[in-house]
């Protein structure tokens, strides 16, 4: 099967070519502009209903009974600036298969649109920011209406569609048919302050992604202020330099008409060169004042004043504010024309700067402080009158039989017509429990990962769906075998300049490769992994994404990782090397807090194996998790370059049997060494538990043997997943407090800590922050001493650093004696 798929991808089957053609902008139906007069009238009525509903949604949320007596919030002004853009998208431009990310503060407008399209029950409109109601910001996992991408206010939703397009392109070139077409992000201009957007914009993986469209709601305001100066020109130049097509919807048809009149060129130049602050201030002034400030800036006579006056001579003062605010982001014809231009640009991603007014159509439009402003009850009633909403019909959609209702129905059909079905999922049962590999001698977990991946490539039906990614660290994280076997992915074949030269690494980018190499950006890595892990939901093809990253730099991409987990992405990543065990590299490359992150992050299974077979079993389990699209979780393996003698596992394997040992490893831990086997004469008060995880196993075993010579029975418990053990403990206490049946994990806790040893003192040791295992003392109340790395590291030998931070064998032994003393005192 793998060979057939690979060959078909290489040769470019007819089915694949047709699928690719269908997903390119050139093959899509172009959306003509301008609209006919009657069409514009209908769409204008729809956008005004969206304006009304989005405003009412926020108003109701802040005036309903509130037990917390706190401001509920919501963003009437930010939603208003997006109304025209979203109307043009959902009621004209978008088709089935288009995936859209919505500006976070525009969620009320988005939900209003979903209601008009028939995708949201009316009663939800009154539940904004309620428990189980409409979320504050669009959420693909918690909102009741369909959301493609969860968004928040940190720029992550802005680039998620771009990386989803990379995942779609990869899936299409490997498997042919996909369910996604274009990927659109609608963002606020203040989000462009976020660095992750620029990291993404310049990454070469986005080159040629012609089905990516970012629309910037350029309202020139952020949370606290009007953005200073004239930033749009700078932003356009930056995107253009990164290889993006840049378009703008700057002025509406009314202003363009005036610009075409005598003197219009001078008026355009005056507005073009105006700072954001000045333009915003004019929007708050009356017509006579606007005219004076346009024609006599600063009260001084300028040569072009007469020309500007001439251009405005036929515009009454009472119409000047409306004319000045006639921006392209509120002109449906202008927007649709620019969107059609974007469709014709298919060799690179496109960004559209749509000029808007924050608070468009509302009393505080353009007010520098309107971000958190809400209309008063009287203002809402005035808006209802202005928008011709009949009393009693405040929450209603358009009347059946009206032209607007018919347009909404056709738009809903257009958004679903021809939607392809996703490919069949792979059953978790197809993933074997073992690869029957052998790992003799000494081996690090990082090396084990590389060997196992190479074997996984041969699994029929599984191997071809694995895609790896790394931020320029594929070689140093042991992916060389995988890369040599599967190749590097590129949408196009690259010339092989190393042909005929002897080499150990075959780095030949091509459309059939299965490794995606990014630039040195951990943020981009986790954004890409997150979208690869949602490829089934977005593009209808299941992928198994596996990423590698230096463990300390997980923190560099943490926001993107959390974003992927929040979206319920199914991904796998290895943080390697980790801890001060990477001794020569110094503190900048030695991680300490990542183990704690693994325990604390929701929707993530965290493992810290020490033996190669553990890595094998965990990785196979991680693939099974990816197959479960409803309940499956992402997986984090914290690995190391420290070489471990694989024979240290044999005693436990013989005692437990391989299958039971495998089950214990996946459950979160096992008893690696029974202390009484070394100290059979030890009394009950001469028993301690040495609990460790990952690479500290050799030191823990050595300490147990030293203590045994003193008559102390020191059990060594290896927690392969502290996260799973903590969850078992937490579930047990919750069930006990609520009088519920004992959870399944309680049995495994009793296996690790049998009744006869519940109060035995505990020493925990980990090459990570000491507190990450300190929770163990709370399970049965036993005294506990936690050893770990609670200071920044430095360069040195491994043993020197272990002694310096207090996790050496001698430190474990000393802690064991102290723990016994504490137990006797207790």
- Per-residue pLDDT reduced to its tens digit, 243-298: 999 999 999 999 999 999 999 999 999 988 888 788 888 888 998 999 999 988 76
- As a CATH number, domain 37-252+327-414 is 3.40.50.970
Distance CA 197, CA 208 (A): 17
Locate the DSSP E strands across 327-391: 350-355
Q: Average the pLDDT over 22-39 and give the result.
A: 57
Q: Whose structure tokens read 């405003």?
A: 55
User: Would you say 221 is a known binding-site residue?
Assistant: yes
Distance CA 194, CA 197 (A): 6
Residues 6+ apart with CB under 8 A from 582: 589, 590, 640, 641
Contact 595, 769 (CB under 8 A): yes
What was the pLDDT predicted at 24? 38
Distance CA 20, CA 14 (A): 10
Closest CA to 81 of 60, 59, 102: 102
Q: Average the pLDDT over 92-117 and give the result.
A: 97
pLDDT at residue 8 tops 60: no
What was the pLDDT predicted at 811? 98
What was the pLDDT predicted at 297? 78
Contact 373, 365 (CB under 8 A): no
pLDDT at residue 19 tops 60: no
Q: Average the pLDDT over 791-809 and give the result.
A: 95
Dihedral sign for Cα 471, 475, 476, 477, please.
positive
Both tokens assigned to 720: 């392969």
Closest CA to 719 of 751, 699, 744, 692: 692
- Fold observed for domain 669-825: Rossmann fold (3.40.50)
What was the pLDDT predicted at 343? 93
What was the pLDDT predicted at 636? 99
Residues 6+ apart with CB under 8 A from 537: 629
What was the pLDDT predicted at 181? 93
Closest CA to 128 of 107, 150, 146, 113: 107
What was the pLDDT predicted at 71? 85
Q: Whose structure tokens read 């190479």?
A: 454
Q: Whose structure tokens read 């997006």?
A: 82
Q: Whose structure tokens read 């940190």?
A: 154
What was the pLDDT predicted at 226? 57
Distance CA 520, CA 516 (A): 12
Residues 6+ apart with CB under 8 A from 39: none
Dihedral sign for Cα 744, 749, 754, 757, please.
negative
pLDDT at residue 10 tops 60: no
What was the pLDDT predicted at 369? 78
Q: Average the pLDDT over 394-406 and give the result.
A: 96
**Coil/strand/helix, residue 605:** strand
Above pLDDT 90, what percent of the chain?
78
Closest CA to 182 of 415, 467, 409: 415
- Per-residue pLDDT reduced to its tens digit, 478-523: 999 999 999 999 998 888 777 777 667 788 889 999 999 999 999 9
What was the pLDDT predicted at 498? 74
Q: Average the pLDDT over 444-471 and give the result.
A: 97
Give the burial string for 203-238 (b: 16+ CB within 10 Å, else e).
Answer: bebbbbbbbbbbbbbbbbbeeeebbeeebbeebbeb
- Per-residue pLDDT reduced to its tens digit, 707-735: 999 999 999 999 999 999 999 999 888 98
For CATH 3.40.50.920, the residue range(s) in the chain are: 669-825
**DSSP structure class, residue 93:** I
What was the pLDDT predicted at 230? 64
What was the pLDDT predicted at 744? 84
For CATH 3.40.50.970, the residue range(s) in the chain are: 37-252+327-414, 440-642
What was the pLDDT predicted at 18? 38
Angle at 489 between CA 484 and CA 495, to 5 degrees: 80
- Phi and psi at residue 248, in whole multiples of 5°? -145, 145
Distance CA 51, CA 37 (A): 21
Among the listed ranges 35-39, 155-159, 218-222, which one has the minimum average pLDDT value? 218-222
What was the pLDDT predicted at 339? 96
DSSP, residue by residue, 422-488? PPPPPPGGGS-S-------SEE-HHHHHHHHHHHHTTSTTTGGGEEEEESS-TTTTT-HHHHHHH-B
- Per-residue pLDDT reduced to its tens digit, 320-332: 999 999 999 999 9
pLDDT at residue 31 tops 60: no
pLDDT at residue 26 tops 80: no
Residues 6+ apart with CB under 8 A from 464: 1, 2, 5, 6, 174, 514
pLDDT band at 418 (very low <50, low <70, confident <90, very high): confident
pLDDT band at 179 (very low <50, low <70, confident <90, very high): very high
Closest CA to 178 of 542, 516, 698: 542
Angle at 10 between CA 7 and CA 13, to 5 degrees: 80
Both tokens assigned to 389: 């909403």
What was the pLDDT predicted at 13? 37
Contact 339, 31 (CB under 8 A): yes
Helix extents (H) in 26-185: 37-63, 76-88, 107-116, 156-175
- Per-residue pLDDT reduced to its tens digit, 565-610: 999 999 999 999 999 998 888 888 999 999 999 999 999 999 999 9
- Per-residue pLDDT reduced to its tens digit, 214-255: 999 998 775 444 555 567 888 999 999 999 999 999 999 999
Distance CA 546, CA 544 (A): 6
pLDDT at residue 305 tops 90: no
Q: Average the pLDDT over 24-32 and give the result.
A: 40
- Phi and psi at residue 560, in whole multiples of 5°? -70, -35
Distant-in-sequence contacts of 453-458, Cβ < 8 A, 24+ apart: 453/479, 453/481, 453/482, 453/546, 453/619, 454/481, 454/482, 454/485, 456/619, 456/623, 457/482, 457/485, 457/486, 457/514, 458/2
Dihedral sign for Cα 583, 588, 589, 593, please.
positive
Distance CA 526, CA 470 (A): 9
Both tokens assigned to 207: 């080159």
- Per-residue pLDDT reduced to its tens digit, 730-788: 988 898 888 888 888 889 999 999 999 999 999 999 999 999 999 999 998 999 999 99
Distance CA 160, CA 164 (A): 6
Q: Is the peptide bond before 500 cis (omega within 30 degrees of 0)?
A: no
Give the burial string for 761-791 (b: 16+ CB within 10 Å, else e).
Answer: bbbbbbbbbbbbbebbbebeebbbbbbbbee
Helix extents (H) in 487-645: 522-532, 535-539, 558-566, 594-600, 612-627
The mean predicted confidence, pLDDT, of the chain is 91
440-642 is classed CATH 3.40.50.970:
yes
How many C-beta neighbours within 10 Å does residue 38 have? Answer: 9
Contact 722, 695 (CB under 8 A): no
pLDDT at residue 372 tops 90: no
What was the pLDDT predicted at 364? 86
- Per-residue pLDDT reduced to its tens digit, 306-360: 899 999 999 999 999 999 999 999 999 999 999 999 999 889 999 999 999 999 9
Q: Whose structure tokens read 């202390």?
A: 675
Locate the DSSP E strands across 139-234: 183-188, 212-218
Distance CA 465, CA 541 (A): 9
- Phi and psi at residue 460, in whole multiples of 5°? -65, 135
Distance CA 379, CA 78 (A): 17
Q: Pairing state of beta strands 245-249 and 350-355?
A: parallel
Dihedral sign for Cα 488, 491, 496, 498, please.
negative
Angle at 502 between CA 499 and CA 507, to 5 degrees: 60
User: Would you say 189 is a known binding-site residue?
Assistant: yes
Count of positions (residues) in the chain: 826
- Per-residue pLDDT reduced to its tens digit, 41-56: 999 999 999 999 999 9
């Amino acid at each position: 099967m793998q060979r057939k798929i690979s060959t078909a991808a290489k040769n470019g089957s007819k089915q694949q070519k047709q699928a690719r053609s269908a997903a390119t902008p050139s093959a899509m139906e172009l959306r003509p502009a301008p609209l006919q007069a009657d069409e514009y009238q209908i769409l204008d009525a729809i956008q005004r209903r969206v304006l009304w509903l989005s405003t009412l949604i926020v108003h109701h949320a802040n005036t309903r009974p509130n037990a917390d007596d706190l401001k509920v919030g919501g963003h009437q002004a930010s939603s208003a600036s997006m109304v025209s853009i979203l109307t043009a998208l959902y009621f004209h431009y978008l088709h089935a298969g288009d995936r859209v990310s919505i500006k976070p503060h525009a969620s009320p407008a988005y939900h209003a649109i979903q209601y008009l399209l028939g995708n949201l029950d009316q009663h939800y409109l009154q539940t904004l920011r309620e428990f189980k109601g409409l979320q504050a910001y669009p959420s693909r996992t918690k909102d009741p209406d369909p959301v493609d991408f969860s968004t928040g206010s940190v720029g992550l939703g802005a680039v998620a569609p771009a990386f989803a397009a990379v995942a779609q392109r990869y899936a299409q070139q490997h498997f042919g048919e996909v369910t996604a077409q274009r990927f659109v992000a609608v963002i606020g201009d203040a989000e462009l302050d976020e660095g992750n957007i620029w990291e993404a914009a310049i990454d070469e993986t986005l080159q040629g992604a012609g089905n990516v469209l970012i629309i910037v709601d350029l309202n020139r305001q952020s949370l606290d202020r009007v953005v200073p100066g004239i930033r749009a020109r700078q932003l356009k130049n930056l995107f253009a330099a990164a290889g993006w097509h840049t378009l703008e919807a700057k002025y509406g048809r009314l202003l363009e008409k005036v610009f075409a009149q005598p003197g219009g060129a001078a008026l355009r130049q005056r507005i073009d060169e105006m700072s954001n602050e000045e333009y915003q201030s004019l929007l708050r002034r009356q017509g006579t004042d606007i005219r004076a400030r346009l024609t006599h800036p600063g009260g001084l006579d300028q040569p072009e004043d007469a020309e500007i006056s001439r251009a405005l001579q036929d515009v009454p003062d009472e119409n000047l504010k409306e004319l000045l605010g006639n921006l392209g982001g509120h002109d449906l014809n202008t927007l649709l024309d620019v969107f059609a231009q974007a469709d014709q640009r298919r060799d690179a991603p496109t960004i559209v700067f749509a000029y808007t007014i924050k608070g468009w159509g509302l009393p505080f439009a353009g007010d520098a402080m309107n971000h958190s402003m809400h209309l008063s009850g009287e203002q809402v009633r005035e808006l209802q009158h202005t928008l011709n909403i009949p009393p009693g019909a405040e929450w209603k959609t358009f009347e059946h039989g009206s032209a607007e209702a018919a347009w909404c129905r056709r738009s809903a059909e257009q958004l679903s017509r021809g939607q392809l079905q996703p490919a069949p999922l792979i059953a978790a049962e197809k993933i074997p429990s073992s690869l029957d590999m052998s790992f003799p001698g000494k081996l690090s977990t990082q090396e084990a990962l590389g060997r196992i991946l190479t074997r996984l490539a041969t699994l029929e039906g599984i191997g071809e769906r694995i895609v790896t990614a790394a931020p320029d660290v594929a070689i140093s994280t042991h992916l060389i075998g995988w890369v040599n076997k599967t190749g590097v992915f590129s949408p196009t074949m690259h010339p092989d300049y190393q042909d005929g030269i002897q080499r150990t690494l075959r780095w030949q980018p091509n459309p059939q490769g299965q490794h995606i190499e990014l630039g040195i950006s951990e943020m981009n890595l986790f954004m890409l992994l997150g979208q690869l892990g949602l490829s089934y939901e977005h593009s209808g093809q299941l992928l198994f994404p596996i990423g590698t990253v230096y463990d300390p730099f997980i923190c560099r991409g943490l926001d993107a990782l959390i974003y992927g987990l929040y979206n319920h992405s199914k991904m796998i990543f290895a943080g390697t090397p980790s801890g001060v065990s990477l001794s020569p590299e110094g503190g900048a490359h030695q991680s300490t807090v990542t183990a704690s992150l693994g325990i604390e992050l929701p929707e993530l299974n965290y493992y810290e194996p020490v033996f190669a077979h553990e890595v094998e079993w965990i990785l196979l389990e991680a693939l099974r998790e990816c197959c479960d699209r409803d309940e499956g979780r992402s997986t984090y393996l914290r690995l190391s370059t420290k070489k471990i003698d694989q024979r240290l596992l044999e005693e436990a394997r013989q005692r437990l049997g391989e299958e039971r040992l495998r089950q214990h490893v996946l459950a979160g831990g096992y008893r690696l060494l029974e202390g009484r086997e070394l100290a059979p004469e030890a009394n009950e008060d001469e028993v301690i538990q040495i609990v460790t995880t990952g690479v500290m196993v050799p030191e823990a075993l050595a300490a147990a043997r030293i203590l045994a010579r003193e008559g102390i029975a020191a059990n060594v418990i290896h927690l392969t997943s502290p996260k799973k053990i903590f969850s078992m403990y937490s579930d047990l206490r919750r069930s006990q407090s609520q009088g519920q049946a004992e959870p399944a994990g309680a049995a495994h806790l009793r296996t690790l800590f049998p009744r006869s040893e519940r109060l035995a003192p505990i020493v925990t040791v980990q090459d990570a922050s000491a507190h990450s295992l300190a929770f163990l003392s709370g399970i049965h109340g036993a005294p506990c001493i936690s050893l770990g790395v609670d200071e920044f590291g430095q360069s040195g030998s491994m043993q020197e650093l272990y002694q310096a931070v207090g996790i050496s064998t001698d430190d474990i032994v000393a802690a064991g004696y102290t723990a016994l003393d504490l137990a006797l005192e207790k």
